[in-house]
Structure 1
Amino acid sequence: MKATVEALENEKAEMVEKLSEAKQQGVKAVRCEEEEKRQDLIKEMERKRAEEREEDERRFQELIKKNVRSFRQVEARSFLPFFFCTYLSRLSKQNWES
């Protein structure tokens, strides 16, 4: 009977050890899976940030172009009256001098 109890105790110890190892492997597998998910999330976030930067840059360039066009239109409108007034004053001077 003593031998049977010792055999059962040894078997119990082996089962506890195997269970502990299985638990450690399970924890390790879960940690690896979580790390993989974390890395995937980081990659996705970086990809989205890059897309947002590209979109922001595109919008910024469009605004620059729009502002340049507006400035040129204002500049052209301002230049024409100035040019016309200058031309008229020169023409008037020439008429008075003649």
Structure 2
Amino acid sequence: MFQVKDYCFAREDRIVGVGVLQLANMIEQGSCACWVQLGRRFHIDETGLILLRILSQRQTDEIAREFVRLKSECRYETESTIAASMSNQQLAANRIS
């Protein structure tokens, strides 16, 4: 999984989107050059929320804090952008595999 961030001087940095690439093909080829659509925020069920609450209590664990922050940030998209993003992600996944 990778993420794209918007680093801004005058305001708080925020995540623009996330995406997923299969590493199996990159290992064989040594590199990967492709267009990847950024997906929407992941849906978190009750178990996921419990895990996020547990991880958020680990004040000295930098990795846990970063994970909770990444999973709880919102990205702003319209309905049409989400639908296009999901269909393009499926096309990209088929091209890569």
Q: Same fold (TM over 0.5)?
A: no
- Which structure: greater strand fraction? 2
> TM tier, shorter chain?
under 0.3
- Which structure: greater helix fraction? 1
